Copies of this chain bind each other. A is one copy, B any other.
Amino acid sequence: MAHKYETVAADIREIISTSLAPHDALPSERDLMTRYDVSRMTVRAAIAKLVDEGRVYNVHGSGTYVGSIDLFSKTPKLTSFTEDMTSRGYVASSRPLALARIDADEDIARRLGVPVDTECTHLRRLRLADNNPMAIEDVYLPRTVMEIEQLHLDQSLYVQLTEAGHEVHRAEQEIQAIMLSEEDSRLLGVPNGSAALSVERVSTSRRGLVIEFARTIYRSDRYSFHIAVTRDNEK
């Protein structure tokens, strides 16, 4: 383990999961200082990380406590379809439906932040969970990010993007309810006109460059979206 605060954080995680219940108090920061023989700032860095993970919360003047959350704890994290399905207990797979070079229409260009008619790569896939259709995904990549010839359909797109120097760091997502088109209903194996969840995502690198625009349409009978939010009572 590289840094001290990480080892402290890891140890506190262990303590929490083995001997503490939600809303139990952690040892005080000064206690933890002597216990791990580190400075208070290191203890606070460790706790700050755990707070960020949603595992504990602070109460000024009182103590640090174990969070109530369970499985759905995490602060919203950007996950790939595969990661998402795996964490839900499914085996993810996919079937390519289309792969083509296209010119960005107005909508796609706006999302990608490029001029209309910019050449892009379009990948359309049926996404499966335990071999059952779960979603239809359309991904649009500017040619400057990845050429169509570079794309390997049998590998994780995120891994390929990372290897090409375009690691996704942040994304804005827009979630809507839509009614499925006839084609999409057929692909997903649900009645025509069913409601579905549309998640549109614009992903950017750490430097703020737009890497992809993706629209994923999930069948509503099998999929829902979880997020945890906190209320910042600050300015």
Binding site for B on A (CB under 8 A): 22-23, 41, 57, 59, 65, 67-70, 72-73, 75-78, 167-179, 193-197, 204, 206-208, 218, 220, 224-233
Contact = CB atoms under 8 A, between A and B. Distances in A.
A52 to B, nearest CB: 9
A115 to B, nearest CB: 17
A169 B227 contact: no
Nearest to A220: B177
A167 B23 CA distance: 17
A169 B220 CA distance: 29
The 3 closest A-B pairs by CB, nearest first: A68-B208, A195-B195, A177-B220
A229 B78 contact: yes
Nearest to A227: B173
Given A72-B172, A175-B197, A77 B227 contact: no
Given A75-B75, A76-B229, A171-B230, 16 more contacts: A57-B208, A65-B207, A65-B208, A69-B172, A72-B172, A76-B76, A77-B229, A77-B232, A167-B231, A169-B230, A170-B228, A170-B230, A173-B226, A173-B227, A175-B226, A176-B225
Q: Copy number in this complex? A: 2
13 contacts: A23-B207, A75-B75, A169-B230, A172-B227, A173-B226, A175-B197, A175-B224, A176-B197, A176-B220, A177-B220, A178-B195, A178-B220, A195-B195
A18 B18 CA distance: 51
Given A57-B206, A176-B197, A197-B177, A228 B171 contact: yes
B172 A226 contact: yes
B208 A172 contact: no
B195 A228 contact: no
Contact of A228 (B22, B70, B72, B173): B173
